[in-house]
Amino acid sequence: MNQEYFDKVTELEEMNASEQYILGWQEGYQGAPEVEEQRLTDAYEAGYEDGKNNNFDSVDQHKG
C-alpha cells in the first residue's frame, strides 16, 4: 500500500470511526470484494462506498 492509504487509515482511527466503517473503507479503497451479505452492516457499507470514492463523507454517522 501507499503512504496515502496509511495516512487516511490513521486519520480514520483518530476520528474515532467505527471498526466496521474502517474495515469497509479499507476494502473499498483497495477494490476488494465486499464481505458476504450476512456480514454486511450499515457502517461497513458506508465505509466501502467512501473508500471506493476516496473520501470520508459518511464517517460522522459511524463513529465508534
Place of cell 474515532: 16
Q: Where are the alpha helices (DSSP H) in 1-64?
A: 3-14, 19-30, 42-52
Grouping H, G, I as helix, E, B as strand and the rest as coil, residue 17 is: strand
**Exposed, middle or buried, 9 (CB in 10 Å: 0-12/13-18/19+)?**
middle
The pTM score is 0.94
Confidence of residue 11 (pLDDT cuts 50, 70, 90): very high
* pLDDT score at 55: 97
* pLDDT score at 64: 80
Q: What's the pLDDT tens digit per position in 12-54?
A: 999 999 999 999 999 999 999 999 999 999 999 999 999 999 9
Cα torsion angle, 20, 23, 28, 34, sign: negative
